[in-house]
Structure 1
Amino acid sequence: MNRPRFIPNPDTVMPHFQPILSMDTQTIYAYEVLGRYTGPQGVRSLGPFFHDSSLSMEEHISIDRIIRRKAIASLVNAPENTRLFLNLKPNWIYHFRQRPEQLPTLRFLREHNIDPSRITIEITEDSFFDDIEELARVTRTYREAGCQIAIDDVGSGFVNFDRIAYIKPNILKLDLELVKKCGRESFFQEILRSFAVMAEKIGAFLLFEGIETREEVQIALSLGARYLQGYFFSPPQAAMQNPDAFRPILERQIQQFVDHALWQQHADLRAAEELRDSLLTCLHRLSDCDAITPGAADAFVHPFLELLPKMVIRVFLCDERGYQWSSNFTRQNGHWKQDSDFIGRNWAWRPYFLSNIVKATHQEAGKLSAIYTDAHTGKKMRTYIYPLPGNLFLCLDLT
């Protein structure tokens, strides 16, 4: 049996506002506008209506425009720095590709004399199969009018990098499910960290939505979140809130994050110093060594393998351009196994390699890399790079 089609009475439709919090000011930066309607059971979400594929795009758009118009009208009496995030599906925007000057949102802003810089157009990461360049052209009309652009639900499925590249968003909203999975599996943190790097490279800020716990706040902060949103702070409400309403809780969370981050930084420095001290005998010998030739690299490494601390699980010798001179020496069951197949391989492509080579050279001291996941073993590890005469470098992989 087909369920009856539900289209809300336009007179019952209204916007609700969920605060988006800024980490740099600890205040409400903006509100995401979400649709609600009043029915026999009280106020209800319009989410099921907008996700009902049996309804036409025109039916969805007609209700959404009512919500947008009312939300924009609410800015007339709001403080001047109040901003709104308005959700728009790519297909809705693409609908205006031939007449971008008629975009309803921009018309509503003109009607109420609202500065477009107070609006962020949030483009959802849903199915879109039309011309991405045309979509980007219409999106550019919003940007040229003064609006900011955000892409929603980044990471919810296979990431549409084309959309990100063409649209050039100011803000990337990270999918809440990935944030929740971070609490269970560290691998998801690495995926989110890649988005943080991407956002930094393209000049965008990260907004983490769906935050429900303190743990998720800390994960988001550790991954570079500038903005946070979720029920941990507030559900969507009919009225806007005091901009400073969440300052105390944000200050506590930021303080906790800073305390832990500083502890981690100092722990990293201590780890590097302890490693250097434990290698002191070996490193002193290395600093006094004569020039090493490629054919003598293995003979050079052999004598001090047994002196290395147990945290060292792999040793090899490279030159400054990333070419490996020695075999791989890997600790297995307490013994060192030699693998000459790695001689001649190049590691300059590894993200940490060249930057750490340069730092080790200029500081004339060992350099400890950040933690990474080894692609061969799947284990977390770090690499300690120590400079030798002749522009060679001893590389120690550590668990």
Structure 2
Amino acid sequence: MDALDILTDLENVIPFFQPIFSADEHRVIGYEVLGRYISENQLTSLGSFFQDDQIPEEYKFEVDQLLLVKALEKALESNEDFYIFLNRTADLLMYNHGEPFLNELLAFEKRGLNLQRIVLEISEQNYQGDINQLDHLLQYYRTYGIKIAIARIDSDSNYFDRIGQLEPDILKINLQVLKSTTTGTAFNDILFSLSLLARKIGATLLFENIEMEYQLHFAWKNGGRYYQGYYLSKPASEFIEHDLLKDRLKEKFHDFILYGKKRLESFYSTSDFFQVKVQEIILKSKKTSYEELFELLMKEMDQIAFRMYVCDEDGFQQSPNFFKGKDGWGIQKEYINKNWSWRPYFLENIFKMRNEKKGILSDLYSDIETGETTRTFSFPMNPTEFLFIDIAYNYLFEHDDLL
């Protein structure tokens, strides 16, 4: 694409709008503005134009501002109240200290546009400028009611640090990675951390590039409130009816809810199963020694567990590890007196078990030593001793509702 062709034919540079749907309302809540160029009746994305490092920043800025004006003109013509998502790289945003961009928004505000409808998607990829000046500019924009979304951060940057510094209103998560066959549990763990962080700072998760139903389900079960992608609606030159997919989304989310309920029923059923089974074993053993208890446990849970041990209420390990390796069960005495209270939720779970006098089945996580996906069943043997049983992946796989 020749940049000069575009710059000498700006009337054929037009905005396209990709709808963004919400989980709570099942309707369109906003549009992301995308650039298109019409040439000889062919429609071309301007993505490569803005990503081309050989094109001067002033050229990109001129086209970006034109798209902004044309998009906001259309938004003013509409009687609907929706968010307008505007993409900006950090370099383009800092062009002339960010004043032309803000001045254009303020001009539209005078014409009736509520700036609280504006969501600025900021990408810091390859940004070499002063990060503090960028942050000050973004905070200044916020004083006008403009919302901030983090679209992409340079791989050399500390993603979580930047989220903590900016405290964005929206975190965008690209689901393109789900197409890769190499996507593993680490991606799920990162998403879980992001969802916790978003909750802490009051941010909303927006999942983009949803192209198949399983990606929509993935976004829903991982705390996504907003959704965007070709599976839902392709970009177009006009706004769509905001309730167009309401019935379809309601039906899909109902299916997701039923599936989620089924998984929860399986989770609590398994927890109850372990509660009864472990309680019976402990009553049988009368715990004359840890060895006697674990002999019974290994016999009864040979196909279920791969590690078992006992800790006190402060997290100090009282027993050795009873660990199942390739050659069967073995004893790891070196773990006696190690302390595990530093683990997330450890002390909270100890108090919960003590107060409720019943065991707890953990969420999924990757074991530090084996790397195996597991869950742990924790059980209060008495007010000061707590049994921990790590569940083997094979058992979880055979009961796939637990994965």
**What's the TM-score once normalised by structure 2's chain length?**
0.89
SS at match of 1:161: helix
What is residue 231 of structure 2 aligned with on the other side?
232
CA 1:215–1:158: 2 relative to 1, 3 Å:
farther
Q: Is the 8 A contact 1:119 1:148 kept in 2?
A: yes
| Distance across 2 between alignment mates of 1:268 and 1:348 | 25
Deviates more, 1:201-210 or 1:188-197: 188-197
Is the counterpart of residue 330 in structure 1 residue 323 in structure 2?
yes
Q: Is the 8 A contact 2:207 2:227 kept in 1?
A: yes
Once the two structures are superposed, the pairs formed by residues 189-204 of structure 1 within 5 Å of their partners are 189-204=188-203
What is residue 293 of structure 1 aligned with on the other side?
none
Q: Is the 8 A contact 1:132 1:163 kept in 2?
A: no
Alpha-carbon distance, 1:112 to partner: 2.8
What is residue 282 of structure 2 aligned with on the other side?
283
What is residue 107 of structure 1 aligned with on the other side?
106
Is the counterpart of residue 217 in structure 1 residue 210 in structure 2?
no
SS at match of 2:225: strand
Count of aligned pairs: 389
| Distance across 1 between alignment mates of 2:312 and 2:255 | 42
Is the counterpart of residue 66 in structure 1 residue 66 in structure 2?
yes
The Cα offsets for residues 90-125 of structure 1, whole Å up to 9 and x where unpaired, read as 12223354x759724433433532110111011124
Q: Is the 8 A contact 2:86 2:119 kept in 1?
A: yes
Amino acid at match of 1:360: M
SS at match of 1:279: helix
Is the counterpart of residue 272 in structure 1 residue 265 in structure 2?
no
Once the two structures are superposed, the pairs formed by residues 284-303 of structure 1 within 5 Å of their partners are 284-285=283-284, 298-299=290-291, 301-303=293-295
Alpha-carbon distance, 1:243 to partner: 0.6
| Distance across 2 between alignment mates of 1:386 and 1:219 | 32
Once the two structures are superposed, the pairs formed by residues 1-399 of structure 1 within 5 Å of their partners are 5-8=3-6, 9-97=9-97, 100=99, 103-153=102-152, 159-181=158-180, 185-285=184-284, 298-299=290-291, 301-309=293-301, 310-333=303-326, 335-399=328-392
| Distance across 1 between alignment mates of 2:185 and 2:382 | 39
Q: Is the 8 A contact 2:282 2:293 kept in 1?
A: no
| Distance across 2 between alignment mates of 1:7 and 1:208 | 34
SS at match of 1:321: coil
SS at match of 1:225: coil
| Distance across 2 between alignment mates of 1:232 and 1:159 | 31
Q: Is the 8 A contact 1:100 1:138 kept in 2?
A: no
CA 1:252–1:314: 2 relative to 1, 3 Å:
same
Q: Is the 8 A contact 1:154 1:175 kept in 2?
A: no
Amino acid at match of 1:213: M
Q: Is the 8 A contact 2:353 2:360 kept in 1?
A: yes
CA 1:63–1:100: 2 relative to 1, 3 Å:
closer
| Distance across 1 between alignment mates of 2:181 and 2:215 | 8
Q: Unaligned stretches of 5+ in structure 2? A: 393-403
Amino acid at match of 2:363: A
RMSD of aligned C-alpha atoms?
Answer: 2.4
Alpha-carbon distance, 1:347 to partner: 1.5
SS at match of 1:230: coil
Q: Unaligned stretches of 5+ in structure 1? A: 291-295
Deviates more, 1:86-95 or 1:15-24: 86-95
Amino acid at match of 1:398: I
Amino acid at match of 1:62: E
Alpha-carbon distance, 1:219 to partner: 0.7
